[in-house]
Protein backbone atom coordinates (compact mmCIF):
# COMPACT_ATOMS: atom_id res chain seq x y z
CA UNK A 1 0.00 0.00 0.00
CA UNK A 2 1.43 3.35 -1.02
CA UNK A 3 1.17 6.19 1.46
CA UNK A 4 1.34 9.86 0.58
CA UNK A 5 1.89 13.08 2.50
CA UNK A 6 -0.54 15.49 0.86
CA UNK A 7 -1.14 19.19 1.47
CA UNK A 8 -4.64 20.28 0.53
CA UNK A 9 -5.36 23.48 -1.32
CA UNK A 10 -6.22 26.54 0.74
CA UNK A 11 -9.86 27.54 1.21
CA UNK A 12 -9.34 30.38 -1.26
CA UNK A 13 -7.93 28.01 -3.91
CA UNK A 14 -10.69 25.45 -3.32
CA UNK A 15 -13.45 28.04 -3.70
CA UNK A 16 -11.85 29.47 -6.85
CA UNK A 17 -10.88 26.22 -8.60
CA UNK A 18 -13.35 23.52 -7.54
CA UNK A 19 -17.11 23.78 -8.16
CA UNK A 20 -19.13 23.53 -4.93
CA UNK A 21 -20.86 20.30 -6.02
CA UNK A 22 -17.42 18.64 -6.32
CA UNK A 23 -16.19 19.82 -2.93
CA UNK A 24 -16.25 17.36 -0.06
CA UNK A 25 -15.93 17.43 3.70
CA UNK A 26 -12.28 18.47 3.31
CA UNK A 27 -13.29 21.83 1.81
CA UNK A 28 -15.10 22.80 5.03
CA UNK A 29 -13.11 20.92 7.66
CA UNK A 30 -9.44 21.10 6.76
CA UNK A 31 -8.48 23.27 3.79
CA UNK A 32 -4.72 23.72 3.64
CA UNK A 33 -4.11 20.79 6.00
CA UNK A 34 -1.36 18.23 5.52
CA UNK A 35 -2.71 14.69 5.64
CA UNK A 36 -1.43 11.14 5.32
CA UNK A 37 -3.39 9.48 2.54
CA UNK A 38 -3.36 6.25 0.54
CA UNK A 39 -4.76 5.25 -2.84
CA UNK A 40 -8.53 4.73 -2.74
CA UNK A 41 -9.96 1.28 -3.50
CA UNK A 42 -13.26 0.02 -4.85
CA UNK A 43 -14.29 -0.91 -1.29
CA UNK A 44 -13.61 2.67 -0.14
CA UNK A 45 -15.82 3.98 -2.95
CA UNK A 46 -18.59 1.52 -2.00
CA UNK A 47 -18.34 2.39 1.72
CA UNK A 48 -18.26 6.19 1.45
CA UNK A 49 -21.04 8.58 0.44
CA UNK A 50 -20.45 10.26 -2.91
CA UNK A 51 -22.80 12.92 -4.29
CA UNK A 52 -24.89 11.98 -7.31
CA UNK A 53 -23.23 12.75 -10.60
CA UNK A 54 -19.71 12.59 -9.13
CA UNK A 55 -16.99 10.21 -10.26
CA UNK A 56 -16.96 6.76 -8.69
CA UNK A 57 -13.52 5.97 -10.12
CA UNK A 58 -11.01 5.17 -7.33
CA UNK A 59 -8.26 6.84 -9.39
CA UNK A 60 -9.97 10.21 -8.77
CA UNK A 61 -9.64 9.85 -4.98
CA UNK A 62 -7.21 9.30 -2.15
CA UNK A 63 -8.32 7.92 1.21
CA UNK A 64 -7.25 8.71 4.76
CA UNK A 65 -4.77 6.11 5.95
CA UNK A 66 -6.72 5.29 9.12
CA UNK A 67 -9.30 2.53 9.43
CA UNK A 68 -12.51 3.45 7.57
CA UNK A 69 -10.87 6.68 6.37
CA UNK A 70 -12.76 9.29 4.37
CA UNK A 71 -12.20 10.04 0.70
CA UNK A 72 -10.40 13.14 -0.56
CA UNK A 73 -10.65 14.18 -4.21
CA UNK A 74 -7.31 14.37 -6.01
CA UNK A 75 -8.30 17.78 -7.40
CA UNK A 76 -8.13 19.11 -3.82
CA UNK A 77 -4.44 18.23 -3.47
CA UNK A 78 -1.97 21.09 -3.75
CA UNK A 79 1.26 19.15 -3.07
CA UNK A 80 1.82 15.42 -2.75
CA UNK A 81 4.85 13.27 -1.97
CA UNK A 82 5.04 9.51 -1.62
CA UNK A 83 6.13 8.26 1.79
CA UNK A 84 8.78 5.54 1.42
CA UNK A 85 7.65 2.04 2.39
CA UNK A 86 9.01 1.43 5.89
CA UNK A 87 8.60 -2.32 5.53
CA UNK A 88 11.27 -2.45 2.84
CA UNK A 89 14.05 -0.20 4.14
CA UNK A 90 17.22 0.24 2.12
CA UNK A 91 19.37 -0.34 5.21
CA UNK A 92 19.06 -3.27 7.65
CA UNK A 93 15.85 -3.07 9.65
CA UNK A 94 15.89 -1.64 13.13
CA UNK A 95 13.14 -2.26 15.71
CA UNK A 96 11.90 1.34 15.33
CA UNK A 97 11.48 0.91 11.53
CA UNK A 98 9.36 -2.20 11.81
CA UNK A 99 7.38 -1.37 14.95
CA UNK A 100 5.30 1.13 12.96
CA UNK A 101 4.58 -1.42 10.26
CA UNK A 102 3.67 -4.03 12.90
CA UNK A 103 6.35 -6.49 11.79
CA UNK A 104 9.31 -7.99 13.54
CA UNK A 105 12.76 -6.91 12.46
CA UNK A 106 14.72 -9.74 10.85
CA UNK A 107 17.12 -11.42 13.22
CA UNK A 108 20.80 -11.47 12.27
CA UNK A 109 21.79 -14.93 11.06
CA UNK A 110 24.23 -15.77 13.93
CA UNK A 111 21.58 -14.90 16.53
CA UNK A 112 18.84 -17.05 15.03
CA UNK A 113 19.90 -20.19 16.89
CA UNK A 114 20.40 -18.37 20.20
CA UNK A 115 16.82 -17.15 20.54
CA UNK A 116 14.44 -19.51 22.27
CA UNK A 117 10.82 -19.74 21.22
CA UNK A 118 9.81 -17.90 24.42
CA UNK A 119 12.11 -14.96 23.69
CA UNK A 120 10.88 -14.86 20.09
CA UNK A 121 7.21 -14.78 21.27
CA UNK A 122 7.96 -12.07 23.85
CA UNK A 123 9.70 -9.98 21.18
CA UNK A 124 6.75 -10.43 18.80
CA UNK A 125 4.23 -9.42 21.48
CA UNK A 126 6.28 -6.33 22.40
CA UNK A 127 6.46 -5.21 18.77
CA UNK A 128 2.73 -5.79 18.22
CA UNK A 129 1.88 -3.89 21.41
CA UNK A 130 4.07 -0.95 20.35
CA UNK A 131 2.39 -0.86 16.95
CA UNK A 132 -1.10 -1.01 18.53
CA UNK A 133 -0.22 1.79 20.95
CA UNK A 134 1.11 3.96 18.11
CA UNK A 135 -2.01 3.34 16.03
CA UNK A 136 -4.29 4.06 19.00
CA UNK A 137 -2.44 7.29 19.80
CA UNK A 138 -2.70 8.38 16.16
CA UNK A 139 -6.44 7.63 16.10
CA UNK A 140 -7.00 9.56 19.33
CA UNK A 141 -5.08 12.55 17.96
CA UNK A 142 -7.02 12.43 14.67
CA UNK A 143 -10.34 12.20 16.50
CA UNK A 144 -9.48 15.10 18.80
CA UNK A 145 -8.43 17.14 15.78
CA UNK A 146 -11.65 16.15 14.00
CA UNK A 147 -9.69 14.86 11.00
CA UNK A 148 -10.74 11.26 10.61
CA UNK A 149 -14.28 11.11 11.98
CA UNK A 150 -13.72 7.95 14.02
CA UNK A 151 -16.08 7.82 17.01
CA UNK A 152 -14.56 7.39 20.46
CA UNK A 153 -15.24 4.20 22.36
CA UNK A 154 -17.61 6.15 24.61
CA UNK A 155 -19.63 7.23 21.55
CA UNK A 156 -19.65 3.67 20.24
CA UNK A 157 -20.76 2.28 23.61
CA UNK A 158 -23.58 4.83 23.86
CA UNK A 159 -24.73 3.83 20.36
CA UNK A 160 -24.69 0.16 21.38
CA UNK A 161 -26.65 0.98 24.55
CA UNK A 162 -29.25 2.89 22.52
CA UNK A 163 -29.71 -0.01 20.12
CA UNK A 164 -29.81 -2.61 22.90
CA UNK A 165 -32.29 -0.74 25.12
CA UNK A 166 -35.96 -1.32 24.24
CA UNK A 167 -37.73 1.91 23.46
CA UNK A 168 -40.83 2.98 25.36
CA UNK A 169 -42.87 3.16 22.13
CA UNK A 170 -42.18 -0.55 21.46
CA UNK A 171 -43.36 -1.47 24.97
CA UNK A 172 -46.56 0.61 24.55
CA UNK A 173 -47.27 -0.85 21.13
CA UNK A 174 -47.09 -4.43 22.46
CA UNK A 175 -49.61 -3.75 25.24
Q: Which residues of the chain have a pLDDT value below 50?
A: 93-101, 109-113, 175
Query: pLDDT at position 157, please?
Result: 67
User: How far out from the chain centre does Cα 21 lie?
Assistant: 25
The confidence score (pLDDT) of residue 30 equals 86
CB atoms within 10 A of CB 35: 22
Q: Which residues pair with 61 in a beta bridge?
A: 73
Residue 67: what pLDDT? 84
Nearest to residue 76, comparing CAs of 19, 114, 130, 157? Answer: 19
pLDDT > 70 in the chain, percent: 51
Domain boundaries, the chain: 3-83, 92-169
> SS3 of 55, please?
coil
List 81's β-bridge partners, or say none.
5
Across the strands, what pairs with 84? none
Q: How far apart are CA 11 and CA 73, in angstroms?
A: 14
Predicted pLDDT of residue 75: 93
pLDDT (tens digit, 9 = 90+) per residue, 85-117? Answer: 766 555 554 444 444 445 555 555 444 445 566
Could you give the CA distance from residue 92 to residue 79 in angstroms, rounded to a whole number? 31
Predicted model pTM:
0.49
Amino acid sequence: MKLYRAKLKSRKQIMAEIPREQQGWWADVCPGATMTLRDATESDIARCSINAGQSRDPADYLCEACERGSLVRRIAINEITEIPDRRAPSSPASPSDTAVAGELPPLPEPTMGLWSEGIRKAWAEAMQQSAREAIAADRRARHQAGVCGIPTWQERMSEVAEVAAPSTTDAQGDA
